[in-house]
């Protein structure tokens, strides 16, 4: 059933890499202002789910809807591809992805990195984009680094620049794929603060994370994936405070011990 109030709705999603079935029928819904955290062991399908949501990976079965609009497909199973390139571009530009590795252009300043996509992809006015880019760099706490190059910034500063770049697209939702896992603990906290501030603003976010404290603090909904299926989901209080399944209890015990 289509939920027309959802920003992102995924139903019965299946994804395989050759013979390896990574997602085995997953349902996820994120309404405006929801912060949905995806947790689970390495290989459980979390990042693949996020990439399928943003159409960076092709799925073999299931529906993906953006603001009630279903992705149109051609072909079936491993030959299935999105049928409408303009629709793919529209969805991707409205679902800004922040990756584990920062993916900044080394030959561009931080300001140029943040401005690039709104100008080249969206065709927005350069002066208007520069104003927005400076505002978002101020927002993530590195407004003074506009003229620096990525190599001159710490990992935490680079990831904050990547978040500003995503925000400058004025997306409907932000997708975070392990945004802090490449950082040491001190720099990790810089990025977590930015993500918490965005959550407090009511931004719609899907977050793949290994940081259970962050997931507990900022999520409206937590999804525990195990071997390509949703093993358990609910509010942070439910998932972290009263886990029902042995698998989730074992996972949480292992993360606390680490």
CB neighbour burial string for 71-85, b if at least 16 within 10 angstroms, e if fewer:
bebeeeeeebebeee
Here the tokens at position 27 are 């349902």
Instruction: Look at residue 1 in the predicted model and tell me its pLDDT.
Output: 66
> What is the C-alpha separation between 110 and 141, in angstroms, rounded?
13
User: Domains plus CATH for the chain?
Assistant: 6-105+173-257 (3.40.50.300)
| CA 206 from centre of chain | 5
Instruction: Look at residue 257 in the predicted model and tell me its pLDDT.
Output: 67
Instruction: Look at residue 194 in the predicted model and tell me its pLDDT.
Output: 94
Torsion, Cα of 129, 5, 57, 166 (10° steps): 20
Is the pTM here over 0.85, yes or no?
A: yes
How does DSSP assign the chain, residue by residue? ---TTEEEEEEEEEEEETTEEEEEEEEEEEETT-EEEEE-STTSSHHHHHHHHTTSS--SEEEEEETTEEPPEES-GGG-EES-HHHHHHHHHHEEEE-SS----TTS-HHHHHHHHHHHTT---HHHHHHHHHHHHHHTT-GGGTTS-GGGS-HHHHHHHHHHHHHHT--SEEEEESTTTTS-HHHHHHHHHHHHHHHHTT-EEEEE-S-HHHHHHH-SEEEEEETTEEEEEE-HIIIIIS--SHHHHHHHHHHHH-
Residue 174 phi, psi (nearest 5): -110, 135
Q: Consecutive 10-residue runs of the chain (258 residues): their mean pLDDT?
A: 83 95 96 96 94 95 96 95 95 93 94 97 96 97 97 95 96 94 87 93 95 94 97 97 96 84
């Amino acid at each position: 059933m289509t939920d027309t109030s959802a920003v992102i709705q995924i139903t019965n999603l299946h994804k395989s890499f050759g013979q390896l079935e990574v997602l085995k029928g997953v349902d996820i819904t994120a309404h405006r202002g929801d912060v949905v955290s995806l947790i689970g062991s390495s290989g459980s399908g979390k990042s693949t789910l996020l990439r399928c949501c943003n159409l960076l990976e092709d799925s073999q079965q299931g529906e993906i809807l953006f603001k009630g609009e279903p992705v149109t497909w051609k072909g079936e199973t491993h030959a299935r591809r999105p049928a409408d390139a303009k629709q793919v571009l529209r969805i991707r530009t409205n679902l800004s992805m922040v990756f584990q590795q920062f993916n900044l252009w080394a030959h561009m300043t931080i300001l140029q990195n943040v401005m690039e996509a709104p100008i080249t992809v969206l065709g927005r006015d350069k002066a208007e984009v520069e104003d927005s880019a400076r505002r978002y760099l101020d927002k993530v706490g590195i407004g003074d680094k506009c003229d620096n190059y990525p190599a001159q910034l710490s990992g935490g500063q680079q990831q904050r620049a990547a978040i500003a770049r995503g925000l400058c697209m004025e997306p409907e939702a932000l997708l975070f794929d392990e945004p802090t896992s490449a950082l040491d603990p001190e720099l990790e906290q810089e990025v977590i603060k930015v993500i918490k501030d965005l959550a407090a603003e009511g931004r719609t976010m899907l977050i793949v994370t290994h940081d259970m404290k962050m997931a507990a603090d900022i999520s409206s909904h937590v999804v525990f994936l195990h071997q390509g299926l949703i093993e358990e989901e609910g509010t942070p209080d439910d998932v972290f405070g009263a886990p029902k399944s042995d698998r989730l209890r074992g996972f949480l015990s292992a993360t606390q011990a680490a």
